Amino acid sequence: MSCVGEQFGMEFSLEEIAGCRKAQGLLSMELELSRLCDLRCLYCYAASGKALENELSLDEIRFIIDEAIGLGVKKIIVLGGGEPLLYPHLMDVLEYLRGRNLVVDLFTNGQTLNRELADKLFALGVGVALKMNSRIPGVQDRLAGRKGAHEAIGRALENLQTAGYPDSDHLLAIETIICSQNIAELPGMWRWARQNGIVPYFESITMQGRAVEYRELEVGQEQLKKLFKELACIDREEFKRSWTPHPPLVGSHCARHEYSCTVTSTGEVHPCPGVDVSGGSIRHTSLADIVRTSRIFRDLRNIRDTIKGHCAICELGEVCYGCRGHAYQVTGDYLAEDPICWLKHPPSNS
């Protein structure tokens, strides 16, 4: 549900982010193509399945891409909203993006990612984040809401690796939602990904969309703290990588609200998938005006000044402000302190 950037830091430098804020522009944008999906993942933020009425046309998608470029965008993350491989004009969109020299990351569940498509993605230089929540067939299939999902993900991974992923110019990542069903196996998955040159993109679950129907997915604060610390130890001792454990992203920071936005498949502009509050529609207002004048974007662009609670005084405040999506979904206030963050409590020995 988030962009895959530099692990152990932000995907853009503090200087780039400061410049973007000053110019009231964008550095990246998350783009939904359709809510159509061939899985019914229990945790899906968008509760995807069927395409929505009045989804953006290909011309509208090209128009919003051009608007984003005018605001300084360097990277587009294609989310699909549902499953982007089912969108009939996917290659048109990807070719349009790459033709404008944008960095492109594609998030996919891999169910239909065959060898031919893997070769095309590699030739275009598109980074791929494969949604993989478990290496145990029964667990993966249950979380995906469809039998056989695990097997299809395995085929997709093999096709991507055969095509040449990963290398220095072709990112290959796995996107993994931390939930109660998979938390015990995540240290092993992290180690496996590292050993295979795959970026492990692990993030805390946000209880929204379909997830609200499955409260058993939720993971407690102490469980998260223990997992993050264990993964930090694995990286430090086995892979010579050091980072400070804190939610919501393992080994990375989220600062997207200072430089990014999400455009939904119907043209609504949200701060991110977790804060599913519209700042306006690109069908009625320019992207520039939405980013620069809507209240929610003003609040979050100035997050270091507007944030509340412990997040406002945290020692990591220069690079982290917690998960705004989690704060919003739990409290109804996207500026509230992150309810899942353990740093606001006195440290324990665990």
Q: What is the pLDDT of residues 136-184, one digit of tens each?
A: 999 999 999 999 999 999 999 999 999 999 999 999 999 999 999 999 9
Whether the CB-CB separation of 78 and 113 falls below 8 Å is answered with no
- Residues 6 or more apart from 8 whose CB is under 8 A from it? 241, 242, 243, 251, 252
In whole angstroms, give the CA distance from residue 326 to residue 219. 13
* Mean pLDDT computed over 52-69: 97
Average pLDDT value over all residues in the chain:
92
302, 300, 199, 192 alpha-carbon torsion, rounded to 10°: 110
Name 77's bridge partners: 30, 105
| Among 185-199, 247-261, 315-329, the range of highest mean pLDDT | 185-199
Q: State pTM to two decimals.
A: 0.92
Give me the residue spans of the domains in the chain: 14-257
228, 230, 236, 238 alpha-carbon torsion, rounded to 10°: -130
Instruction: Say how many Å lie between the first and final Cα of the chain, rounded.
Output: 29
CA-CA-CA-CA torsion sign (226, 204, 336, 306): positive
Interval 282-295: pLDDT, tens: 999 999 999 999 99
Interval 203-245: pLDDT, tens: 988 889 999 999 999 999 999 999 999 999 999 999 999 999 9
On the CB side of 96, CA atoms within 13 Å amount to: 17
- What architecture is domain 14-257? Alpha-Beta Barrel (3.20)
Which residue reads 């700042």 in tokens?
Answer: 279
With a pLDDT cut of 90, the percent of the chain lying above it is 81
In whole angstroms, give the CA distance from residue 211 to residue 339. 17
